[in-house]
Amino acid sequence: MKILLKSVFITDPTSSHYQTNKDVLIIEGVYRSIEEEINNYDSDVEVIECKDMCLSQGWVDLKSDFCDPGSEYKETIETGLEAASNGGYTHVCILPSTEPNIDGKTQVEYILNKSKNSITSAHPIGSITKKGQGKELAEMYDMHSSGVQLFSDDNIHVSTGMLSRSLLYAKTIEATVAVFSSDPSLSNGSLVNEGIASLRTGMKSEPSISEEIEVERNLSVLAYTEGKLHLTGVSTQKSVNLIKAAKSSGLNVTASVNIMNLLFNDEAVLNFDTNFKVKPPLRSAADQKALLKGFLEGTIDTIDSDHRPKDIDEKDIEFSNAAFGGIQIQTVFPSFNTSFSDYIQNLINAISINSRKIAGIPLATIEEGETVDATLYDTNQEFELNQKSIKSKMKNSPFLEKSFKGKVKAVINNNKHIIFE
């Protein structure tokens, strides 16, 4: 692989070339030269004119369900990673909610083997408990020995005792426990947020306190164990404030928000569009505003796709019976850029740097001599998401036939590269 990126704007804040236009020569997956201008190069070098394009460290998604093994008709490791690379991601952390569950070394190695030739690297998330059932700890040590850095039971509630034990154990292997905060006694059977959505639709609601009680509990257990905790799917203003206070007190906690909760509020469900049926539910406009503020201030460390493919029989039905979730991994960057273009560097820093640190993936600084793991993107190019451009097997996206501003142009990783039109 020999590539010359001509006059590309570097947006990696860890690089000495940050916020400068440079020619970047890549030979066999390594940054061979980064200069103001490179004119002497071999005839077999592929030259890419990068006017208006930016280069960052490769992006990392912390939360995607690829349905493989168990529901390959919805997604496979291969199709999920193809969708991820089209979305600009060079690394994806894959949720353990498969069949069988990712709760042991065999399941971890299955995913690693299926993804070993991909340009986008897969990172299995190990279950906290066996089969994700909350009864006994999974084989955390064996999974960690196979490369697992994050442990989670996805959206399943983890008891206080199990959370404590998992944090203590994860501390011994320098791993991170990730939990979704929702009290099942308050949220089971809920469909929408308690507020305008429930009042106007009459559907069963989940109150904000369902999340906030659990966030408080999770932070208390973290303080007791002195472990390392990641709070995923943060969705309320009070949760943001609790996390901010916890960070100020010195707790080792990070947090992320799902892209849908950042882009939309509970008014989006008033027309019963099942593409907006997600977990956590879309909250109030005040919560949505607080999430953006918390992200820009650094209380919320990063943004997750929460990519969850669903077939038409699960979504094209009554709202009350429809499945939660949608395909988002291709649209995180363009949807954020379209809505919040002034803050695009905050997103790039989050998904290229912060998510790496949370997932335990080494930084990929753009410097001469370093291995290339990068995303090339254009914040101005417009494109439309349609049936042809969606690489996921499923098409359950609220953005179908919608136009965006911002497009991924290439990903470079594992000594491979893909250039997109």
Give the number of other Cβ atoms within 10 Å of residue 226's Cβ: 12
Q: Which two tokens stand for residue 241?
A: 């404030």
Which CATH code of 2.30.40.10, 2.60.120.200, 3.10.20.30, 1.10.10.10 fits the domain covering 2-55+367-419?
Answer: 2.30.40.10
Q: Is 42 part of the annotated catalytic residue set?
A: no
CATH number of 58-359: 3.20.20.140
Q: Which two tokens stand for residue 287?
A: 């919560």
The domain ranges of the chain are 2-55+367-419, 58-359
2-55+367-419 matches 58-359 in fold: no
pLDDT in tens, the chain (421 residues): 999 999 999 999 999 999 999 999 999 999 999 999 999 999 999 999 999 999 999 999 999 999 999 999 999 999 999 999 999 999 999 999 999 999 999 999 999 999 999 999 999 999 999 999 999 999 999 999 999 999 999 999 999 999 999 999 999 999 999 999 999 999 999 999 999 999 999 999 999 999 999 999 999 999 999 999 999 999 999 999 999 999 999 999 999 999 999 999 999 999 999 999 999 999 999 999 999 999 999 999 999 999 999 999 999 999 999 999 999 999 999 999 999 999 999 999 999 999 999 999 999 999 999 999 999 999 999 999 999 999 999 999 999 999 999 999 999 999 999 999 8
Residues 6+ apart with CB under 8 A from 327: 83, 307, 308, 309, 390, 392, 394, 395, 396, 397
Q: Which two tokens stand for residue 399?
A: 């953005």
Percentage helix, strand, coil, to 5, in the chain? 35, 25, 40
Set 68, 103, 306, 373: catalytic member: 306
What's residue 112's pLDDT?
A: 98
* pLDDT tens per residue across span 223-233: 999 999 999 99
Task: Please provide the distance, in angstroms rounded to a whole number, between the alpha carbons at the two ends of the chain.
Answer: 19
Q: How far apart (Å, rounded) are the C-alpha atoms in residues 116 and 64? A: 18
Q: Which two tokens stand for residue 126?
A: 């190990």
Longest Cα separation, the chain: 68
What's residue 421's pLDDT?
A: 81
Helix (H, G, I), strand (E, B) or coil at 327: coil
Tokens 């097997």 found at:
393
Task: Fill in the amino acid letter for 271.
Answer: N
Q: How far apart (Å, rounded) are the C-alpha atoms in residues 364 and 201? A: 48
